[in-house]
Amino acid sequence: MSYAQITAFSLAALMLGVFVFVLVGKERAQRALEAFPRNKLAGQILTGIALLWFGWLLHKLNFGRFAHLKRGVYVGIPVMFYLLITHLHELLAVRAIAGIILLAGVPMLDAIRWEPSPFRLVITVAIYIMIVRAMFLVVAPYRWRQGLKWRRAHPLREKAFTAMYGLSGAAFLAIGLFVF
């Protein structure tokens, strides 16, 4: 299995997971999505995951003539975790999931970059859309709830978004199975 297939299957799993989650338990899913931004435990776990990933990336990075500062990473990550969960606890879960999406964008784009198929551009555009959405959520996490309210304002709009997640997940799955 190539890295491009893994990327396509990851996007398919994400989109189809959201589709099934919303389709199966509509009211329960809405309550869970509305409660997610203020969920302290989810925020702390996701922040921990994002910071561990960030620390691992910094550990692999060649600091060059600043190599003596690399030891500060091992102290800085736990300190940063403590400061984030104590002083930035409002809407931390949304910021953390957005940070994970931002961190996941690079390996996904690297995996798809040299694929000869023109369908790689479909996945590349989807990844960039996710990255831009994540950047907005890091800066303005309150947009999470505003987006949910906007989608629920009209039943047709909500059905369209649910269908979009299902169709895009199926498309990514098909690209992963038949193209790459």
Amino acid 146 reads Q
pLDDT over 90 (residue 13): yes
Q: Is the dihedral of CA 87, 69, 65, 111 positive or negative?
A: negative
Phi, psi dihedral angles at 28 (to 5 degrees):
-65, -40
Question: Global pTM?
Answer: 0.87
> Cβ–Cβ contacts within 10 Å for residue 26, how many?
12
Structure tokens at 75: 């102290």
User: Residue range 95-121: average pLDDT?
Assistant: 92
Tell me the mean pLDDT in the region 25-51.
Answer: 91
b/e per residue 87-116 (b: at least 16 CB within 10 A): eeeebbbbbbbbbbbbbbbeebbebbeebe
How much is the average pLDDT of 66-90?
Answer: 89
Is residue 18 predicted with pLDDT exceeding 90? no
Predicted local confidence at residue 27, as pLDDT = 84
Q: Is the pLDDT of residue 80 over 90?
A: yes
Residue 132 contacts residue 93 (beta carbons within 8 Å): no
pLDDT at 73 over 90: no
The position carrying tokens 């859309």 is 129
- Domains of the chain, by residue range, sit at 3-38+90-179
